[in-house]
Chains A and B, each alone.
Chain A
């Protein structure tokens, strides 16, 4: 059936082409169409005033873009092409503006420094176990479609195991995550195996199994939303969460 279709199509083309050749001989060659102008590149700028505040104070973010259809600021979300907004972070923050248009993407950043007020008290409280957990335990990253631990992740998992052995009263969850490619159901099963791999390695290194919960998020809760390898790698991970 394919072959017949193909033959008949080819015959039509051949006949038509012959007829066209005859019919078209006397026509003057039309001038080549001018190339369409490239879409203008977006521009973007962002500033903050004042650029240094103390905790509790606020500053004004101001941004301008042109030729952009999709403007967003990390931590704030989608915003108007031009605008300003009050912010009052409790710690120093970098505001990253991305302006996407048909002509490309333009980015701009500005930084707001939050100075700590002069300490009125002499003693600083010792960091909580949750803080230590957040600072010390490193996530484990995986290759595409794989759930076995990569050699370059062994150092991270050994350091994690060492910290967790030293803080034996911490219970925690290992979340298995996958990148956005592939299918929902298979990715949930794959994420489950990633979380299990991390748990098995920790147990093998001496961490008690009953302190570790595992959960798969598949591709349901990505860390990074872009479609490129750097972002996909961010999403293929075993992520540690402190359990209160």
Chain B
């Protein structure tokens, strides 16, 4: 399960290159093709229901204008780009390339010609289409999802949305309709197109907490502490954001209300207080505090009351992560045995179990279904072992793991999307720390931030 594709590539190169120098160009092509197929065949850990089945072939022709308003062109571009991107990133459908589409695409149900969609070249099983128009200062979008193989009763979804005629509204409607389709075709798991990602950015000159839409749009600064603010963790209901910040008295846990758009009071504990984590019922916070000397995991109420320690050990304990499904366990990082390792314990501090066996393991984050941890791990560590920090996924029950990133750079702070199908993380692969996301099998990797240095992403719970 844990074998990596690099082993294959070493083998291929050592077998073929000495033998056939004369045919090098042709051989290289074959090697590259083989490597490509090998890399696509990476082992998978399935984290949602319905992921094992073959993906539905979905055709998504651009939505058409339904009025003659001059605003339509720009809004349609925003809508069509966002809608395609959401479906493409979802991991639950296979989008049929637009080059296979007929010249005449439908904007309304009567315009659908089933035969040109349900047979090759598109050979689509599903068709998402519709229209968008501004009329009387109002934006209206109509969208349909058709099962084009079922010509007798093709309608799966039919929706109409109305909003103000702005780019943001067009983007939001695209997210909503995409989520409807993903929910229907993705085994009943809600889509993430309306979810948010909280993160740290230094682009204002200080490390502050920022938020963006899941696709990287709408990036916005939340805090203005003008010091160093780190480790944002949003509450399950999305109303509060806990983070750690360097204040006049040291590192404190601060609480930001996303509804009031300002800080709200939270107690000052003394010592160095870091890395908050919410229990799934939103009633408790776990975090690291050195108020008693060494850094240990503490748990308090959501308001900071009833503080009590969970760990007692030699090394620093940080980065707690609550089991998002059950709330019954907490994973955390401990330096008890030297280099940091991942442990789990019951939420009352009992039954501590070491999960990682070697190297430098940090930043645990629990999958929404409670079965997996994702973590950052430098498995090979020490002199002569350059050891890259990569994102891994570990099955809690068996401690079996699979490596998700292979492409260099330092990768850290993975955070699971609410659909269990996506992971966001920070990576230096582009030359500086930026936020990237991927499917939970390591595919569909793409960069979300490009300005300044951005780190420690935290995906909202819904």
Binding site for B on A (CB under 8 A): 1-2, 5-6, 9-10, 12-13, 16-17, 20-21, 23-24, 27, 29-30, 145, 147, 182-186, 188-190, 192-193, 196, 215-216, 220
Q: With A13-B12, A182-B362 given, is the CB distance from A145 to B335 under 8 Å?
A: yes
Given contacts A12-B34, A27-B22, A145-B338, contact A184 B8 (CB under 8 A): no
Q: Which of B12, B23, B295 contacts A192 (CB 8 A)?
A: B295
Beta-carbon contact of B230 and A185 below 8 Å: yes
Q: Report chain B residues within 8 Å CB of A216.
A: 251, 272
> Are B34 and A9 in contact, CB atoms less than 8 angstroms apart?
yes
* Bound form: Cα–Cα A23–B19 in Å: 14
Task: Tell me whether B30 and A16 are in contact (CB under 8 A).
Answer: yes
Q: Tell me, rounded to whole Å, the shortest Cβ–Cβ distance linking B272 to chain A.
A: 4
Cβ-defined contact, A189 with B27, below 8 A: no
Q: How far is the CA of A10 from the CA of B30 in the complex (A)?
A: 11
- Asked if B190 is at the interface (CB within 8 A of a chain A CB), the reply is no
- Specify the main secondary structure of chain B where it touches its partner: mixed
B residues apposed to A, CB below 8 Å: 1, 3, 8, 11-12, 15-16, 19-24, 26-27, 30-31, 34, 37-38, 41, 43, 207, 228, 230-231, 246, 250-251, 271-272, 274-275, 288, 290, 293-295, 315-319, 333, 335, 338-340, 360, 362-363, 376, 389, 412-413, 455-456
- Name which residue of chain A comes closest to B382, CB basis: A144
Q: Decide if B339 touches A192 in the complex (CB within 8 Å).
A: no
**Beyond A185-B362, A192-B271, 10 additional pairs, beta carbon < 8 A:** A5-B38, A6-B38, A10-B12, A12-B37, A183-B360, A184-B456, A189-B288, A189-B295, A189-B335, A193-B294
- Classify the interface of chain A: helix, strand, loop or mixed: helix
A183 touches B251 (CB 8 A): no
Number of A-B contacts (CB under 8 A): 131
Q: Are A20 and B23 in contact (CB under 8 A)?
A: yes
Please pick, from B31, B250, B318, the residue contacting A186 in the complex, using a CB distance under 8 A. Answer: B318
29 A-B pairs with CB atoms under 8 Å apart are A5-B37, A6-B8, A6-B38, A12-B34, A20-B20, A20-B23, A21-B23, A24-B22, A27-B22, A27-B23, A29-B21, A145-B338, A182-B360, A183-B319, A183-B333, A183-B363, A183-B413, A184-B230, A184-B412, A185-B230, A185-B318, A185-B333, A186-B318, A188-B274, A189-B295, A189-B318, A196-B290, A215-B272, A216-B251
Say whether, besides A184-B456, A186-B362, A2 and B230 are in contact (CB < 8 Å).
no
Find chain B residues with CB under 8 A from A5 CB.
Answer: 37-38, 41
* Minimum CB distance partner of B389 in chain A: A183
Tell me whether A186 and B251 are in contact in the complex, defined as CB-CB below 8 angstroms, given that A192-B295, A193-B316 are known contacts.
no
Quick one: closest B residue to A5, CB to CB? B41
Partner of B272, one of A17, A23, A182, A188: A188
